[in-house]
């Protein structure tokens, strides 16, 4: 673990403040020195040790990333393997190398060897909670799914960490963590703490 960590939460769309609160609480709980703040400009990417891509609408987030030149700066740090990233919901979509619908409006970050299907669990009104087993966790985790994507398949170095009804909802590859659900919408800090452990 670095002496003091700076964690950015992409400030375009989604549960930004909730992620900031959860990660700030995770820092306190683990006695880790650090700060969490939202990032919107490409110059800020150079100043962070890790990045959280929150939920929202993947097309909107992708277009804004591209327009603001954040896309290329993040890609560069991904290629350098110098930026741990956690992507939740829409963030999970952006981390993938393939989309099921192959939507050209969504510019993927190509960080993880996985294929993702957007909105695989239906619309907002079909949101739900489900207890899932996560590799390495001693008890079940209550996952909140809102217009959630599904990780259809993984290959290469991508490792499945959790499934729900035999469907992949959490995966990790090197310093990248992808979740179909929203850990920031619960009081359970284990996933944010898990991501903290990935920042070395």
Contact predicate 57/90, CB 8 Å: yes
Gap between the Cα atoms of 105 and 156, Å rounded: 26
Say whether 184 is catalytic: yes
Phi, psi of 116 (to 5 degrees): -125, 140
Say whether 92 is catalytic: no
Residue 57: predicted pLDDT: 87
pLDDT mean by block of 10 residues, the chain; 200 residues: 84 89 97 94 94 92 90 95 96 96 87 94 74 97 94 98 96 98 97 94
Residue 1: predicted pLDDT: 47
Catalytic residue selected from 57, 71, 89, 92: 89
CA nearest 105: which of 53, 146, 68, 61?
A: 61
Domains of the chain: 5-198 (3.40.50.880)
Catalytic residue selected from 92, 117, 158, 182: 182
Residue 125: predicted pLDDT: 58
pTM: 0.95
Say whether 110 is catalytic: no
Gap between the Cα atoms of 19 and 60, Å rounded: 19
Within 10 angstroms of residue 131's Cβ, the number of other Cβ atoms is 10
Residue 174: predicted pLDDT: 96
Catalytic residue selected from 19, 71, 92, 184: 184
């Amino acid at each position: 673990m670095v002496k003091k960590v700076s964690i950015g939460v992409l400030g375009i769309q989604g549960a930004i403040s909730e992620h900031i609160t959860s990660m700030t609480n995770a820092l306190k709980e683990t006695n880790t020195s650090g700060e969490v703040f939202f990032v919107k400009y490409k110059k800020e990417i150079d100043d962070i040790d890790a990045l959280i891509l929150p939920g929202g609408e993947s097309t909107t987030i992708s277009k804004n990333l591209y327009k603001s030149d954040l896309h290329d700066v993040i890609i560069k740090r991904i290629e350098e393997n110098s930026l741990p990233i956690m992507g939740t919901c829409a963030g999970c979509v952006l981390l993938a190398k393939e989309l099921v619908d192959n939507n050209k409006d969504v510019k993927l970050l190509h960080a993880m060897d996985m294929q993702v299907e957007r909105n695989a669990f239906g619309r907002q009104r079909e949101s739900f909670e489900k207890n899932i087993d996560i590799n390495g966790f001693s008890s079940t985790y209550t996952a909140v799914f809102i217009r959630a994507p599904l990780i259809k398949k993984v290959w290469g170095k991508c490792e499945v960490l959790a499934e729900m009804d035999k469907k992949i909802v959490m995966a990790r590859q090197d310093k990248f963590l992808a979740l179909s659900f929203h850990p920031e919408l619960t009081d359970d800090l284990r996933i944010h703490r898990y991501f903290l452990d990935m920042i070395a």
